[in-house]
Amino acid sequence: MPIIEGSLTTADLPLGPWAGEQVTVWASKTGTTWHANPDCPKLVSKGKTAAHSQLAAGTFAQRVVPAQLHCNPPGRLAAYAAAVHELIRYDHATRSAVQKSDADALDLDVLIAGSPQRHLESGRQPYAELSARWSTCIKERSLLFNELREQLTDRLPVMLAAAWVASGRTPRQHQERYAAFVDIARDICDRQEIAANGSLSGLINHRYLSIWLNRIAEGGHPRRVTRDLTESEIKHTRSLTRDDASEFHSRLETAWNEIGDAWQHRLEGMALAHSGDVVAVFDNHVPGLTWELRRLFDSDHIPCAMLRTPETTWKCAVVPAVFRLLLNHHDRGAVGVVVAEERAYHFDLDRCALLLRNLAAATGSLGLAESVRPQPSLEIPRSAPWRLRAFDSGHARPGGITPDQLAAALMATYQGERLG
């Protein structure tokens, strides 16, 4: 773990059950790595041994152990050491998220980890010696968590728009949306006479645009991402050119900032054009969702009703309207459908589950209809054929759901009824 100023260290935590203990360690005859667990599989022979008396009181940093200690004494000493390190890791993750937040980036790991309060309630910390520290850490994390959650609500539409544009990047012919971003950059490079230099416009196509988009899809603020990329690009160019060429570098900086601004306006324009929330039913593997975003969709932040079948998982959730862009995939056709726009606020998690259930019933898969989560007690019938494989507006493909079936399921759901 990189050291972050103000982070909790072992010097801040008490010795706990280590106080006053005698710790025996072993090593092979010529070995320099010591083991305090006599049954450690890495301890090949007990060629030498030593005993270390611990202080009667002190901090965990004051443990008297060999410099190269491989494992702790088994039992409560090892358990306490693990608890100490868990607390340190937790605090470290909070501080690193604060740092990211100061750099205008959302720490999705902290968001995905979920409510700090729940961590406290999970009762994983039975040590009274650590409980005061845990409370402080949880309090700090809670403040940050709530702040990040608000930011996520604001940023998610732009994050999704960025993921969608990034998914238009193809090895040969980029799709329109991606190509439009490349064109914007090329025009600006031309205007600043940078393309003449030959490299930047190509680099943008091959490298920078996708980095820029992915960082935003994962919660970075566009302005900040542009600034960071500009800095590193200029640093890189300076290292390549022998003369300082300050005039060129200042043109480069201007071009980069212009490009970043123009890209940002595009993304924000997309998010604006699709403002508000909608209810969508979609395949869990929506192409274009980055791994991080997918994890977010599996977390509490976007509560989803779920229907798992042996082949696939369908979800129903209230999502930012811009998510609609990701539901049409050029290779796979529709991978989801927006089922309600104006009345999205009618849909809580239960109603989303009812809709999935009714869709399954409307397509004749009533057996599956009973497997919709959240109702965790229901078993998923492995053999049931699930026919909600594809959506096609107008004409359903074989095995797909038809507009009539969709309408029937939706109507029943609005009225709070169960089909079938």
Q: Site residues (CB under 5 A) for Zn ion?
A: 35, 40, 42, 70-71
Q: How far is the CB of 72 from Zn ion (least distance, A)?
A: 9
Output 70 or 177, the one with its CB closest to Zn ion: 70
Report in angstroms how near the CB of residue 214 gets to Zn ion at its nearest. Answer: 40
Q: Which two tokens stand for residue 103?
A: 């750099």
Q: Helix, strand, or coil here: 170?
A: coil
Residue 202: how many CA atoms within 13 Å on its side-chain side?
4
Q: Using alpha carbons only, what angle is made at residue 384 by residues 303 and 363, rounded to the nearest 5 degrees?
A: 70
Beta carbon nearer to Zn ion, 68 or 232: 68
User: 50: which strand partners?
Assistant: 25
First to last CA, the chain: 55
CB of 297 to Zn ion, least distance (A): 40
> With respect to Zn ion, which residue has the nearer C-beta, 24 or 142?
24
Contact 63, 54 (CB under 8 A): yes
CB-nearer residue toward Zn ion: 40 or 384: 40
What are the Cα distances from residue 47, in Å, to 39, 51, 68, 125, 224?
14, 14, 16, 37, 57
Which residue in the shown chain puts its C-beta closest to Zn ion? 40
Distances in whole angstroms, Cα of residue 317 to Cα of each of 142, 195, 353: 25, 45, 9
Complex with Zn ion: residue 40 or 408, whichever CB lies closer: 40
Question: Residue 1 CB, nearest distance to Zn ion (Å)?
Answer: 21
Least separation in angstroms between CB 45 and Zn ion? 13
**Shortest distance in whole angstroms from residue 67 CB to Zn ion:** 14
Select 36 or 352, whichever has its Cβ closest to Zn ion: 36
As measured in angstroms, the least distance from the Cβ of 59 to Zn ion is 24
Residue (80 or 297) nearer to Zn ion, CB:
80
Q: How far apart are CA 220 and CA 229, in angstroms?
A: 12
Rounded to whole angstroms, the Cα distance separating 84 from 204 reads: 46
Residue 35 in contact with residue 27, Cβ under 8 Å? yes
Residue 338, strand partner residues: 280
Buried b (16+ CB within 10 A) or exposed e, 12-34: ebbbbbbeebebebbbeeebeeb
Least separation in angstroms between CB 106 and Zn ion: 39
What value does the CA radius of gyration of the chain take, rounded to a whole number of Å? 28
Specify the residue, 42 or 285, whose C-beta has the smaller distance to Zn ion: 42
Q: How far apart are CA 213 and CA 267, in angstroms?
A: 10
